[in-house]
Amino acid sequence: MKLYPLFADMSGREALVVGGGVVGERKAAALLEAGARVTVGAATLTPALREWADQGRIRWLPGSFEEAWLDGAWLVIAATDDPDLHRRIAGLAQARRLFVNVVDDADLSSFHVPAVIDRAPVTVAISSGGHAPMLARLLRERLELLIDPVTGPLASLLGSMRSRIRAQLPDLAARRRFYGRVLAGPVQGLLRRGQLALAEAATERLLESAHAKATGSVVLLGAGPGDPGLLTLRGLRALNEADVILHDRLVSPEVLALARRDAERIEVAKQAGHHHATQAQIHALMRVHAAAGRNVVRLKGGDPFVFGRGGEELEFLRQHDIPYEVVPGITAALACAAYAGVPLTHRDHAQSVRLVTAHCQGSVDTLDWPALAQERQTLAVYMGTSELPVLQERLLAHGRAATTPFAIIENGSRPEQRVVTGTLADLVERAGVHQVRSPALLIIGEVAALATSLAWFGRPPLGAAHPLRPAVPEPLAV
């Protein structure tokens, strides 16, 4: 069931709570805090409820439930320990088109009470749709830590200036930038120390200077291999601040989903064979958007400096005096190795790791094959799926043992990850049998055999065709 979230204005409106125990008391208290006119119907009341009734803060209807109790109510909460009564109340409320919440019974309820983080006037509400209220509560605890206690006073302060802010900054992007500066600047610190007047003055100053021409900038950002959890915190922040995102095709939708909803997303994919945008066009886009004062994020799969042409983009930005920043990402070799259980430099098996690209015949020809064929090193080969026959042939020709294990990791760190293992002798055959597709990373070296025993993520590796081969190589003599 998908719920429609809403925040109800209950001030001055009648709410009925049936049940005078501790749960009823909690519900009544929350409704009172929201300014509702609360009636509690119950034979007996907790001491607190009784006190509120004596003080006139709530109205008490003693005795057992009667349908007339529902008259005039906008919403009803059933909080007794009588399931039959709950069903009856839910049915009657339903017939009267009254929103009803039956405590601990999602099926009978037409509204749910979320777990709440209260930073009035800001409220964050979490619901599991009645499926896992405890999970919602745990999430609430986590968010409590993340949402600054001064969020409330800050919202009140900005609320008091709202119409002026809108009048002075009619452009949405300019307003966003202004609010961004308020969050980044000293205002929150002043509020935290209770210096409201100074906080107001600091906000005024930001508003006055908001018209100074904004300078755009570019953040060259590594999105990692696909699992959004592998994005850095700095990267997440940059995505939240971006007005425009120029992204590669390799960037996963889950990572893009972390960006602001209203950020403009432009795919500038450059896939072999599909030239959606040339490098020059990407440069031009960065320049135009930055010149218009926007925060541009140039989002690339993995790390921008590992086979990502990030260097060229920075050279361009530097030439044109466009301010930039670089946020690294987790490159495919590290992510695929981790998610396939391949310790790249396991001390028993390898002393070094090389990041290699075998993208086309040209790049294959320039590789230092005698060096690559040496034992006790791990090769992480990017973009190599179409060049496997050449890789296999050259490595063997330069003396790398035919028994050297490999692991191909397709869609590393993503839910559809597949790992194909084998030895150099049957590399091409095994990749063919399993129809390995891009994006895939090839790891060749003694450590690759560990994928069989250390796998932990996704489906088990598609193992060697010859089961008699040892899964883990003998450690090499040191």
Q: Does 411 bind ligand SAH (CB under 6 A)?
A: yes
Binding track, positions 235-254, relative to ligand SAH; x by CB under 6 A: ---------------x----
Q: Are 403 and 424 in contact (CB under 8 A)?
A: yes
Residue whose CB is less far from ligand SAH, 320 or 437: 437
Shortest Å distance, C-beta 370 to ligand SAH: 24
242 marked as part of a ligand binding site: no
Shortest Å distance, C-beta 241 to ligand SAH: 22
Residue 161, amino acid: M
Residue whose CB is less far from ligand SAH, 190 or 441: 441
Pairing of β 244-247 and β 295-300 = parallel
Q: Does 41 bind ligand SAH (CB under 6 A)?
A: no
Q: Are 305 and 250 in contact (CB under 8 A)?
A: no
Of residues 305 through 324, those in contact with ligand SAH by CB under 6 A are 306-308
Task: Residue 299: name the closest of 359, 348, 228, 350 by CA.
Answer: 228
Catalytic residue flag (residue 27) = no
Q: Identify the residue among 177, 298, 300, 400 touching ligand SAH (CB under 6 A).
A: 300
Gap between the Cα atoms of 3 and 6, Å rounded:
9
Q: Identify the residue among 409, 431, 447, 448 touching ligand SAH (CB under 6 A).
A: 409
Helices 172-184 and 151-160 cross at an angle (nearest 10°) of: 140
For every residue of 397-428, DSSP letters joined together read HTT--TT-EEEEEESTTSTT-EEEEEEGGGHH
Residue whose CB is less far from ligand SAH, 191 or 451: 451
Q: Would you call 380 helix, strand, or coil by DSSP?
A: strand
23 marked as part of a ligand binding site: yes
Residue whose CB is less far from ligand SAH, 128 or 345: 345
Inter-CA distances, 356 with 246, 309, 364, Å: 26, 15, 10
Bridge partners, residue 102, by sequence:
78
The length of the chain is 478
Q: Identify the residue among 30, 165, 299, 383 touching ligand SAH (CB under 6 A).
A: 383
Bridge partners, residue 356, by sequence:
381
Gap between the Cα atoms of 265 and 203, Å rounded:
31
Q: Tell me which of 270, 321, 365, 426 is the catalytic residue.
A: 270
Q: Tell me which of 27, 227, 248, 300 is the catalytic residue.
A: 248
Catalytic residue flag (residue 270) = yes
Residue whose CB is less far from ligand SAH, 15 or 444: 444
Q: Find tokens 């990017």 and name the residue.
A: 382
383 marked as part of a ligand binding site: yes
Residue 86, amino acid: H
Task: Residue 390: name the closest of 365, 416, 411 by CA.
Answer: 365
Shortest Å distance, C-beta 336 to ligand SAH: 5
Stretch that binds ligand SAH, among 148-156, 276-284, 331-339, 444-452 (CB under 6 A): 331-339
Gap between the Cα atoms of 83 and 105, Å rounded:
9
302 marked as part of a ligand binding site: yes
Shortest Å distance, C-beta 463 to ligand SAH: 19
Residue whose CB is less far from ligand SAH, 133 or 304: 304
Gap between the Cα atoms of 377 and 356, Å rounded:
12
Of residues 168 through 227, those in contact with ligand SAH by CB under 6 A are 225-226
Gap between the Cα atoms of 337 and 230, Å rounded:
14
Q: Does 413 bind ligand SAH (CB under 6 A)?
A: yes
Q: Which residue is nearest to ligand SAH (CB)?
A: 302
CA angle 390–352–363, rounded 5-degree value: 30
Q: Does 377 bind ligand SAH (CB under 6 A)?
A: no
Q: Does 303 bind ligand SAH (CB under 6 A)?
A: yes
Helices 279-291 and 310-319 cross at an angle (nearest 10°) of: 40
Which sign, positive or negative, has the C-alpha torsion 417, 422, 425, 426? negative
Residues 6+ apart with CB under 8 A from 385: 408, 431, 436, 437, 438, 440, 442
- Tell me the site size for ligand SAH, rule CB under 6 A: 24
44 marked as part of a ligand binding site: yes
463 marked as part of a ligand binding site: no
Shortest Å distance, C-beta 386 to ligand SAH: 10
Of residues 427 through 466, those in contact with ligand SAH by CB under 6 A are 438-441
Q: Identify the residue among 109, 331, 377, 378 touching ligand SAH (CB under 6 A).
A: 331
Instruction: Enumerate binding residues for ligand SAH (CB under 6 A).
Output: 225-226, 250, 300-303, 306-308, 331-332, 336, 382-383, 409, 411-414, 438-441
Residues tagged active-site = 248, 270
| Bind-site residues | 22-23, 43-44, 225, 301-303, 306, 331-332, 383, 412
